[in-house]
Amino acid sequence: MTTSHTPEAILEPELPIIDPHHHLWDLRAMIPMFPEPRHHFIAGIVDNAHYTFDQLHTHLTSGHNVIATVFMECGAFYNASYGEALKPVGEVEFVNGVAAQAASGLYGPGQHCAGIVGHADLMLGSKAGEVLDALHAAAPRRFKGIRHQGAWDADPQVLGAPFHAPEGLYRDTTFRAGFAELGKRGMTFDAWVLEPQIPDVIDLAQRFPDQPICLDHCGTPLGVAAYKGRLHERFDVWRHNIKELAACENVVVKLGGLAMAFCALPEDGPAAGHGSEHLAALWRPYIETCIEAFGPERAMFESNYPVDYWGADYAVLWNAFKRLTRSASAEEKAALYAGTAARFYGLEGLAG
């Protein structure tokens, strides 16, 4: 996918960045499984069905000083021969190989996939511990934790059929038995839910106050399907829940994901060519609210690539973030762009 805007000059090109949220996948074989007409989110993924190291490297070297990244699970490269419970180990094995490729130095100094977040089905209950151990064994130096997404909405058009988790997943007793296995191993948890579900994350964080949790994508504000045109109407509800979640000291937040199709920020989809000034204006209320609630020490900017390619070129996306932190101090920027990610994912040696 290409964008139509004139390339922007890179703002603050020396500022070190750890991009704590990107994917790698090859979904070309899965495209026929998606029904027509395709859901807006599916259409964006199909446009980027092949996103492996070469594409990632092109974006990471587009001008910003990305010193390291964290891979986020996305159901790619599963190994069915391991069995249903253990098949996500294949994804971690694949990404660990990519990380070794990057660490060779042949592709520049960036430590791409220095951290790996995989997936384990926590609905296995306490047996999820066996999967967590296998994931760690597949990448003992790089594996950090898991994400088990809980995104659900009563309107199936919000997400599209392939992405719905069960309603109330994070409150389920069996899920929480599996969730408890993370704490026994010192692993992180990434939570992806939609804006109306943030109270589920609040309840989970309160129930497990010692478990490090990261709320992905600012809690995913919604501007599509049943929520179309309602971003302004629902902003106060979102802000209230963000502030309540921020009171849980074990939670951090990822600042990004707002260029996903779900958010309608922008609304006009792939290759629209919006510049960083326009995007910064759209995202400012959400980003500033999150930083104010969590503080720079518990907030981290993310690319969410290639999903956020729906609304933002990689270089433009980081320019938009930098416009939003123009008045921040050097210490605050160090935390927001690298330090918080380094601490949460155990990458302190890379943050400087």
The CATH number of whichever domain residue 151 belongs to comes to 3.20.20.140
The DSSP line for 298-346 is: GEEE---BTGGGGT--HHHHHHHHHHHTTTS-HHHHHIIIIIHHHHHTT
1 inside domain: no
User: What is the structure's pLDDT at 267?
Assistant: 85
Average pLDDT over residues 67-94: 97
Greater confidence (271 vs 134) lies with 134
In the predicted structure, residue 47 carries a pLDDT above the cut 70: no
User: What is the structure's pLDDT at 43?
Assistant: 58
Average pLDDT over residues 325-338: 98
Residue 338, number of CB atoms within 10 A of its CB: 26
Question: pLDDT tens-digit profile of 239-267?
Answer: 999 999 999 999 999 999 999 988 999 98
> Model's pTM, two decimal places?
0.95
The token duo for 123 is 């609905």
Say which amino acid occupies 142: R
The single-letter DSSP state of residue 260 is S
User: What is the structure's pLDDT at 273?
Assistant: 78
204 inside domain: yes
6 inside domain: no
Average per-residue pLDDT in the chain? 92
In the predicted structure, residue 69 carries a pLDDT above the cut 80: yes
In the predicted structure, residue 80 carries a pLDDT above the cut 50: yes
Average pLDDT over residues 28-42: 57
In the predicted structure, residue 191 carries a pLDDT above the cut 70: yes
User: What is the structure's pLDDT at 217?
Assistant: 98
The DSSP line for 105-134 is: STT-S-EEEEEEEE---GGGGGGHHHHHHH
3 inside domain: no
Say which amino acid occupies 323: R
Sequence-distant (≥ 6) Cβ neighbours of residue 206 within 8 angstroms: 248
Residue 192, number of CB atoms within 10 A of its CB: 24
Q: How confident is the model at residue 2 (pLDDT cuts 50, 70, 90)?
A: very low
The token duo for 132 is 């967590």
Residue 220, number of CB atoms within 10 A of its CB: 22
In the predicted structure, residue 237 carries a pLDDT above the cut 50: yes
Question: Are β-strands 25-26 and 251-255 bridged in parallel, bridged antiparallel, or unpaired?
Answer: unpaired
The token duo for 141 is 């130096």
5 inside domain: no
Sequence-distant (≥ 6) Cβ neighbours of residue 33 within 8 angstroms: none
Question: pLDDT tens-digit profile of 116-161?
Answer: 999 999 999 999 999 999 999 999 999 999 999 999 999 988 987 6
Q: How many residues does the chain have?
A: 352
User: What is the structure's pLDDT at 39?
Assistant: 56
Q: How confident is the model at residue 1 (pLDDT cuts 50, 70, 90)?
A: very low
- Select from 131, 155, 126, 154 the least CA-distant residue to 143: 131
Q: How many domains does the chain have?
A: 1
Q: How confident is the model at residue 27 (pLDDT cuts 50, 70, 90)?
A: confident
Place of tokens 């599996």: 178
Question: Are β-strands 188-191 and 213-215 bridged in parallel, bridged antiparallel, or unpaired?
Answer: parallel
Sequence-distant (≥ 6) Cβ neighbours of residue 54 within 8 angstroms: none
7 inside domain: no
271 inside domain: yes
User: What is the structure's pLDDT at 32?
Assistant: 56
In the predicted structure, residue 58 carries a pLDDT above the cut 70: yes
Identify the domain containing residue 258 by its residue range.
16-347
Contact status, residue 310 vs residue 260, Cβ threshold 8 Å? yes
In the predicted structure, residue 270 carries a pLDDT above the cut 70: no
2 inside domain: no
User: What is the structure's pLDDT at 52?
Assistant: 87
Helix boundaries (H) for the chain: 40-47, 53-60, 89-103, 128-138, 173-185, 198-207, 231-246, 276-294, 314-324, 330-334, 340-344
